[in-house]
Amino acid sequence: MRIGYDAKRYFQNQSGLGNYSRDLLRILKEHYPTNDYVLYTTKRPSRYLDKGFTIRFPENGINKMLPSLWRSRGIATDLKNDAIDIFHGLSGEIPMNLTKQGIQSVVTIHDLIFLRHPELYKPLDRIIYAKKFKYAAKHANKVIAISMQTKMDIMHFFGIPDGQIDVIYQGCHPAFQQVKLQAHLDNIRQKYELPTDFILNVGSIEPRKNAFQIVKALEHLDVPLVMIGKETAYAEEIKKYVAEKKMQHKILFKKVERMDDLAAIYKLAKLFVYPSTYEGFGIPIIEALYSETPVITTNSGVFPEAAGPFSYYVNPKNCEEIRHAIQAVLSSTSMQEEMKTKGLEYAQQFNDDVLAEQWIKVYQELS
């Protein structure tokens, strides 16, 4: 098969949708190397130039001048000329006119946060996202949701029938599945000046992630919090609060660029706390499970689906619940061990070989 991909996020996003795209293509290339995987992008990439993939750009004048128009319309002709059997939109979009060119299509929809929580988005952005996602969901030959929660949202908001949507979970970077030697962990602890015992939170530091609630929950607990993620105005609010409460010694903001380093920090953490309001899936939870780090997360939405039956669930807005959960887990060695062991067992459904088999089945059914 020759499979084409919308690779905009693959090349341009360093986290989130970029990680999803790179992990998916890595998995497919490793497990099904005889297929041709062709990556279509509007800009000549400066990173992630993996061997084994063909990369295509807009070539003629109008497509070069208007790359967004090429991505939504003009690309269909190039796909036909490249003898692409299936086109996969990796981030909720597919180009128009694929059917006229006889090309089958798959679209991955990660979440519909802009519809579930419209207050978090600008009105114009909501309109644009809704139009693109709805078109893709209604015109793709197969819709892939990254969780049952997202599948239910697609059915609810777009009226797509159950049988048109498959759920294929998101994998995670192999760094989180590799054995960590103690010497390496010691070096990482020293490199990032990490305390002996600490709680970890990873993800963009923005209101819907509720990192502020963790900070408030820790105000009267003697345990440090390490926060890793893109900082926003919300992060500045947290820092101001931390300074006012004189908590700078135990609320630590760290910047980590290497995935291997991040995986080691997960392994070093005593506990991973992730009280997000809404996610399409919540890949940091999976990273924690693979790292054998106990998880405390939100008691609704996708979170029980991602974290499994042996994680600890809380109301993400309730600081007292979060505080109690942290105390309960840290005070019980037996609870920690069960959460580590059972969490790792639960994570095996996100293994590369499992996901690769599910993906190739989708493609084969369309080819």
Q: Which residue has the tokens 């190739």?
A: 360
Q: Let me know if residue 361 belongs to a domain.
A: no
Same domain for 150 and 214?
no
User: What pLDDT shows up at residue 15?
Assistant: 77
Whichever domain contains 205, its CATH number is 3.40.50.2000
- Asked if 27 and 355 count as a contact pair (C-beta separation under 8 A), the reply is yes
Which two tokens mark 356? 């690769």
Residue where a domain stops, chosen among 136, 168, 200: 168
Same domain for 188 and 147?
no
- Asked if 197 and 225 count as a contact pair (C-beta separation under 8 A), the reply is no
User: What pLDDT shows up at residue 305?
Assistant: 95
User: What pLDDT shows up at residue 50?
Assistant: 64
User: What pLDDT shows up at residue 48?
Assistant: 65
* Sign of the Cα pseudo-torsion (23, 25, 26, 27, in order): positive
Same domain for 19 and 126?
yes
Rg of the chain on CA atoms, in Å:
21
Q: Let me know if residue 26 belongs to a domain.
A: yes
Residues 6+ apart with CB under 8 A from 161: 155
Same domain for 129 and 247?
no
Cβ density class 327-353: b for 16+ within 10 Å, e for less: eebbeeeeebeebbebbbebbeebebe
Same domain for 211 and 255?
yes
Same domain for 148 and 240?
no
* 42/100 Cα distance (integer angstroms): 22
Which residue range forms the structural domain that includes residue 119?
2-168
User: What pLDDT shows up at residue 343?
Assistant: 98
Q: Let me know if residue 356 belongs to a domain.
A: no
Residue where a domain stops, chosen among 124, 143, 168: 168
Per-residue confidence of the chain (367 residues) as pLDDT tens digits? 999 999 999 988 877 888 899 999 999 999 999 999 999 999 877 776 666 799 998 887 788 788 888 898 889 999 999 999 999 999 999 999 898 899 999 999 999 999 998 988 899 999 999 999 999 999 999 999 999 999 999 999 999 999 999 999 998 899 999 999 999 999 999 999 999 999 999 999 999 999 999 999 999 999 999 999 999 999 999 999 999 999 999 999 999 989 999 999 999 999 999 999 999 899 999 999 999 999 999 999 999 999 999 999 999 999 999 999 999 999 999 999 999 999 999 999 999 999 999 999 999 999 8
Same domain for 147 and 255?
no
Residue where a domain stops, chosen among 140, 168, 196: 168
Same domain for 154 and 48?
yes
pTM: 0.90
Same domain for 194 and 311?
yes
Q: Let me know if residue 271 belongs to a domain.
A: yes
Which two tokens mark 125? 């952005």
User: What are the residues facing 50 on neighbouring strands?
Assistant: none
User: What pLDDT shows up at residue 65?
Assistant: 81
Q: Let me know if residue 219 belongs to a domain.
A: yes
Same domain for 259 and 319?
yes
Q: Let me know if residue 109 belongs to a domain.
A: yes
Same domain for 193 and 263?
yes
User: What pLDDT shows up at residue 43?
Assistant: 82
User: What are the residues facing 74 on neighbouring strands?
Assistant: none
- Asked if 303 and 338 count as a contact pair (C-beta separation under 8 A), the reply is no
Same domain for 124 and 214?
no
Q: Let me know if residue 262 belongs to a domain.
A: yes
Measured at the CA of 18, the angle between CA 17 and CA 21, to 5 degrees, comes to 85
Provide the domain count of the chain: 2
